[in-house]
Amino acid sequence: MFSSQSTMLVTGGAGFIGSNFIHYLFRQPDFEGSVVNFDKLTYAGNLENLSEIEEQYGGKRYLFEKGDICDSEKVSAVFAKYGVDTVVNFAAESHVDRSIHGPAEFIQTNIVGTFTLLEAARASWAGRKDVLFHHVSTDEVFGSLGESDFFHENTSYDPRSPYSASKAASDHLVSAYFHTYGLPVTISNCSNNYGPYHFPEKLIPLMILNMQEEKLLPVYGDGKNIRDWLFVEDHCSAIYAILKKGQRGETYNIGGENEWTNINLVNRLCEIVAEKKSKPKDHYKKLINYVNDRPGHDRRYAINCDKIKNELGWKRSVTFEEGLDRTVSWYLANLQWIDRVKSGAYRQWIEKNYEAR
C-alpha cells in the first residue's frame, strides 16, 4: 500500500547508496511525498552528496536529522515529529576490511541500530498495516559460492566476516519482527554496487583514485575472487519497486547478473581511465600490485534475481560498460569531491550548513 504522499525515513541517506536513492526518489514523477534523511554522518556520510536536493527541496519535502540509529529517544522523536510511514534502512557500517580491523562499530550500528529502529517503528505504528519497514541488506550474508550455483532467496545464511555476520543478524531481526509482531517489513539482499558518491575505500573508486594519483593498485590474493556488479541507480529502482509492490514479509535478491573477477575488472578500469586521460592503453596496468589476501575473503558471489524480475517487473537498465563509463567520468570530473571526502573538509561544510541552524 505505497502512497505517493509517503513520509519516508531514509536512514544512512548521506552515504553512497542512500544519497543515490534520495536523488532517485526526487526524480520519480509518482513520488510526491517527503524524505527525512536520518544520518549520523560517520566518515562515510557526506551531506554534500545531497546539496542539490537540499537546495531544491530543503525544509519542504527534504529534511535532514543528524542522529544515530542506536539512539532510541532520538529515533522515536523523529517518528513522532514527522509521522513517518515508511522506513528505508540503509544506515550501516559497510566496509568489510574495516569490520576485520574493528568489528565493534559493526555490531553496534548494524545489529543494535536495526533493533532500535524496529522497536521505534513497532511502538509508533502500533499495529498499522499501511506502513512499511524496508531493510537494505547484502548478498554477503549467504557466504561464498563455488564455481557454479547462485544465491537464491532461500539460500542458507553463512556469513564469513564481522560485517556480513552483523548484516545477517539484522536481517534475522527484521524477519522476526514480521513473524512475531506482524510488523510490515520487506528485505532486499543486493550484490556489489558501483557509481557516483562511492566512498574511495571500496574497490572501484579506490582504483580510479589511485590511477589518478599514479599510485599502486592493490589487488587482494590472486585477484580471481568474483563479484557481481550493479549500477547503483538500478539498486535504487529495485528498492523503489519493492516499496511500491513488494509483499510484506518477503525477501528479494537484487543483482546485476554481471560477474567479474577482480583482476579482470581492474584491468578494464585501467583501460577506461587510460582512454579518458589519453594515455597508452596499458599505462595504468603496470601499477597493479598483488597484495596479501583479505582474511576470510569470499571467493565468489552471484545472484539469482528472478523473483524480483518476475514478481515485481524490475530489471536493470544500465549495462556494465555504460555504468563504468559514467562512473569513471563522474570521478574524474569530481576530484574535488574526493579530496574533500578524504580530507574531512566536508565536515566544515556540514557545520556551516546544518549545525549552525
Q: Is 191 in the site for ligand DAU (CB under 6 A)?
A: yes
Q: Which residue is nearest to ligand NAD (CB)?
A: 15
Q: At what angle do helices 335-343 and 203-212 cross, to 10 degrees?
A: 110
Beta bridge partners of 87: 9, 133
Q: Is 252 in the site for ligand NAD (CB under 6 A)?
A: no
Q: Nearest 10 degrees: CA dihedral of 85, 137, 191, 91?
A: 80
Angle at Cα 127 formed by Cα 122 and Cα 129, nearest 5°?
Answer: 105
Q: Which three cell numbers stand for residue 200?
A: 574511495
Sole window of 32-40, 70-78, 100-108, 200-208 interacting with ligand DAU (rule: CB under 6 A): 200-208
Which residues inside 138-157 make contact with ligand DAU, applying CB under 6 A?
Answer: 138-140
Q: Of these, 70, 78, 265, 308, which contacts ligand NAD (CB under 6 A)?
A: 70
Which of ligand NAD, ligand DAU, none interacts with 12 (beta carbon under 5 to 8 A by kind)?
Answer: ligand NAD
Minimum distance between the CB of residue 281 and ligand NAD, rounded to whole angstroms?
Answer: 28
Tell whether the torsion through CA atoms of 221, 222, 224 and 230 is positive or negative: positive
Q: Is 87 in the site for ligand DAU (CB under 6 A)?
A: no
Sole window of 16-24, 149-157, 320-328, 348-356 interacting with ligand NAD (rule: CB under 6 A): 16-24
When the beta carbons of 202 and 248 are compared against ligand NAD, the nearer one is 202
How many whole angstroms separate alpha carbon 122 and alpha carbon 292? 45
Among residues 243, 249, 248, 230, the alpha carbon closest in space to that of 315 is found at: 230
Give the other-Cβ count within 10 Å of 97's Cβ. Answer: 13
How many whole angstroms separate alpha carbon 220 and alpha carbon 27? 38
Q: Of these, 24, 64, 199, 346, which contacts ligand NAD (CB under 6 A)?
A: 199
When the beta carbons of 107 and 206 are compared against ligand DAU, the nearer one is 206
Q: Of these, 6, 19, 188, 262, which contacts ligand DAU (CB under 6 A)?
A: 262
When the beta carbons of 3 and 42 are compared against ligand NAD, the nearer one is 42
Give the other-Cβ count within 10 Å of 225's Cβ. Answer: 20
For the chain, how long is the longest CA-to-CA vector? Answer: 63
When the beta carbons of 140 and 257 are compared against ligand DAU, the nearer one is 140
- Residue 39 is among the residues annotated as catalytic for this protein: no
Q: β-strand 226-231 against 259-261: which pairing, if any? A: antiparallel
Catalytic residue among 163, 197, 284, 331: 163
Binding footprint of ligand DAU, residue count (CB under 6 A)? 19
- Residue 282 is among the residues annotated as catalytic for this protein: no
Sole window of 51-59, 103-111, 220-228, 242-250 interacting with ligand DAU (rule: CB under 6 A): 220-228
Minimum distance between the CB of residue 100 and ligand DAU, rounded to whole angstroms?
Answer: 10
Q: Of these, 14, 203, 243, 302, which contacts ligand DAU (CB under 6 A)?
A: 203
Q: Is 91 in the site for ligand NAD (CB under 6 A)?
A: yes
Q: Is 138 in the site for ligand NAD (CB under 6 A)?
A: yes
Minimum distance between the CB of residue 334 and ligand DAU, rounded to whole angstroms?
Answer: 19
- Residue 139 is among the residues annotated as catalytic for this protein: yes
Q: Which residues are catalytic?
A: 139-140, 163
Q: What residue ranges bind ligand DAU (CB under 6 A)?
A: 94-96, 138-140, 191-192, 202-203, 206, 218-220, 225, 227, 262, 294, 301
